[in-house]
């Protein structure tokens, strides 16, 4: 049995819903609605996400496949601070991804992103700290 090919001009959603459970738009809408004194704008501000971006995710006009893991974790952190029960696993599933573990690759990428944001003098401080930690760990 073959499936019909889609017309390339046929409109489609910005992001496919997660295979199980809610997509990001539905999850965020439900969690914000369950917090009567908070708005999506509050969530965006507290999580450090531009409101226009969060709004586009909630209206499904912008895809969610490239949302950074740190952004998803920030949303979870804020929602938990508001008293909502949500896990990183739910948030990652809502964008169709598994929760990244503590892999070396992820840690290195995060460290590099943070390092590049530092001014040069602070980068030098980080390097000195790392060298000190390395010498301590080799001495043990």
Lowest mean pLDDT among 5-9, 28-32, 81-85, 99-103: 5-9
Long-range Cβ pairs for the range 112-121 (8 Å, 24+): none
Q: What are phi and psi of 133, to 5 degrees?
A: -60, -40
Per-residue pLDDT reduced to its tens digit, 26-84: 999 999 999 989 999 999 999 999 999 999 999 999 988 889 988 999 999 999 999 99
């Amino acid at each position: 049995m073959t499936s019909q090919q889609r017309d390339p001009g046929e409109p489609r959603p910005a992001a496919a819903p997660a295979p199980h459970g809610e997509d990001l738009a539905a999850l965020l809408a439900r969690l914000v609605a369950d917090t009567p004194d908070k708005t999506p704008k509050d969530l965006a501000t507290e999580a450090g996400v531009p409101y226009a971006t969060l709004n586009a995710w909630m209206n499904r006009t912008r895809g969610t496949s490239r949302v950074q893991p740190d952004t998803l974790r920030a949303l979870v952190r804020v929602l938990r601070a508001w008293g909502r029960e949500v896990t990183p696993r739910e948030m990652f599933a809502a964008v169709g991804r598994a929760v990244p573990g503590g892999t070396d690759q992820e840690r290195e990428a995060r460290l590099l992103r943070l390092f590049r944001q530092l001014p040069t003098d602070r980068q030098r401080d980080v390097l000195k700290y790392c060298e000190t930690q390395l010498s301590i760990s080799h001495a043990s």
